[in-house]
Structure 1
Amino acid sequence: MALPRQQPPLWALPVAQRPSRLWAALPFTAAFILLFDIGILTTFTALVLLLPLAYWRPTRLAYRCVGKKAFGGLLVLVVQLFSPTELVLTAGEGIDHDKWVEKDAEGTVSKVLLPAKGIWISNHTTLADWLYLWSFTYLSSHSPSLYIALKSSLRRIPIIGWSIKMLGFVFLERNWARDAKPFARQLRQIGEETNRGGIDEKLALLLFPEGTIVTENTRAASKRFAVKTNTSQRSPIYASDYYTLPSILLSHVPPPELHLHVRAFPLAAIPLGDLSRLRRGALDNEGSAEEKAAFERWLRERWTEKEQLLARYRAEGSFVPARASKPKTARYGNAEEDDDDDDDGRRPGEHVWPIRLRHPFVWEALAAFCFFLPFLAVFFLWQHRALALEAAKHAAAWVGLSGGAVAGTAKAAKSCGCGNMAGQAAATAAHKLAGEL
Structure 2
Amino acid sequence: MDAEGLRQRPLRAAENVSHPDMAEKHVKPGLHTEVLRTMALVGYFLVTCISLHVFQFAGVPLYWNHKDLYYAWMAVSKQCFGLLIVTLTQWWSPTVVRVSGDESVRGQLRATKDGRLETRFPERMVLISNHSIYTDWLYLWWVAYTNRNHGHLYIILKESLKYIPIIGPGMMFMSFIFLSRNWASDKPRFQHRLRKLKASHKGPMSGTRGELDPMWLLIFPEGTNVSTNGRAASKRWADKKGIPDLRHALLPRHTGLHYCLEELRGTVDWVYDCTVAYEGVPRGQYGQDIYSLRGIYLQGHAPKSVNMHWRCFLVSSIPSDEEAFGEWLHQRWLEKDNLLESYMVNGRFPADEVKDGGAGHLECVVKPRHPLEFLQMFVPLAALVSIVWAVRRMWFWFMVKVALLASSA
Equivalent position of 2:128 in the other structure: 121
1:342-392 deviation per Cα after TM superposition (whole angstroms, max 9, x unaligned): xxxxxx711122100112x21x1111233651674598489869849969x
Is 1:48 paired with 2:78?
A: no
Between the aligned partners of 2:236 and 2:201, the Cα distance in structure 1 is 40
Write the mapping of 1:406-421 to structure 2, written as runs, cut at 5 A: none
Between the aligned partners of 1:189 and 1:384, the Cα distance in structure 2 is 39
Assess, with a 3 A threshold, how the Cα gap between structure 1 residues 201 and 382 changes in structure 2: closer, same or farther: closer
Between the aligned partners of 1:145 and 1:353, the Cα distance in structure 2 is 23
DSSP-derived class of the 1:51 partner:
coil
| Identity of matched residues, % | 31
Kindly state the Cα deviation for residue 191 of structure 1 after the two structures are TM-superposed.
1.4
Q: Structure 2-normalised TM-score? A: 0.74
Is 1:101 paired with 2:113?
A: no
Assess, with a 3 A threshold, how the Cα gap between structure 1 residues 79 and 20 changes in structure 2: closer, same or farther: closer
Equivalent position of 2:268 in the other structure: none
Tell which has more relative contact order, 1 or 2 (C-alpha 8 A, sep 6+): 2
Is 1:184 paired with 2:214?
A: no
Larger radius of gyration: 1
DSSP-derived class of the 1:94 partner:
helix
Give the structure with the higher percent strand. 2
Give the structure with the higher percent helix. 1
Is 1:353 paired with 2:359?
A: no
Between the aligned partners of 1:20 and 1:336, the Cα distance in structure 2 is 42
Between the aligned partners of 1:177 and 1:117, the Cα distance in structure 2 is 28
1:33-87 deviation per Cα after TM superposition (whole angstroms, max 9, x unaligned): 1111111011111111122223433223312210111000011011111111132
DSSP-derived class of the 1:24 partner:
helix
Runs (4+) of structure 1 moved beyond 3 Å? 8-11, 19-22, 193-196, 334-337, 374-391
Between the aligned partners of 1:388 and 1:128, the Cα distance in structure 2 is 51
Equivalent position of 1:4 in the other structure: none
DSSP-derived class of the 1:192 partner:
coil
Kindly state the Cα deviation for residue 108 of structure 1 after the two structures are TM-superposed.
2.8
Between the aligned partners of 2:398 and 2:141, the Cα distance in structure 1 is 41
Contact 1:73 1:357 in 2 (8 A): yes
Extract unaligned runs of 5+ from structure 2.
1-23, 249-283, 404-409
Equivalent position of 2:222 in the other structure: 210
Assess, with a 3 A threshold, how the Cα gap between structure 1 residues 149 and 249 changes in structure 2: closer, same or farther: same
Between the aligned partners of 1:113 and 1:382, the Cα distance in structure 2 is 43
Equivalent position of 1:308 in the other structure: 338
Q: Structure 1-normalised TM-score? A: 0.70
CA RMSD across the alignment = 3.1
Assess, with a 3 A threshold, how the Cα gap between structure 1 residues 227 and 379 changes in structure 2: closer, same or farther: same
Amino acid at match of 2:99: L
Extract unaligned runs of 5+ from structure 1.
1-7, 12-18, 273-290, 328-333, 338-347, 395-437
Write the mapping of 1:29-428 to structure 2, written as runs, cut at 5 A: 29-55=38-64, 56-96=66-106, 99-104=107-112, 106=113, 108-193=115-200, 197=207, 198-199=210-211, 201-229=213-241, 230-235=243-248, 236-272=284-320, 291-320=321-350, 326=353, 335=356, 337=358, 349-359=360-370, 361-362=371-372, 364-370=373-379, 372-373=381-382, 376-377=385-386, 380=389, 387=396
Between the aligned partners of 1:225 and 1:181, the Cα distance in structure 2 is 26
1:169-226 deviation per Cα after TM superposition (whole angstroms, max 9, x unaligned): 1111111111111101110012114797333742100001111112123332221112
Kindly state the Cα deviation for residue 9 of structure 1 after the two structures are TM-superposed.
6.2
DSSP-derived class of the 1:89 partner:
strand
Assess, with a 3 A threshold, how the Cα gap between structure 1 residues 219 and 248 changes in structure 2: closer, same or farther: same
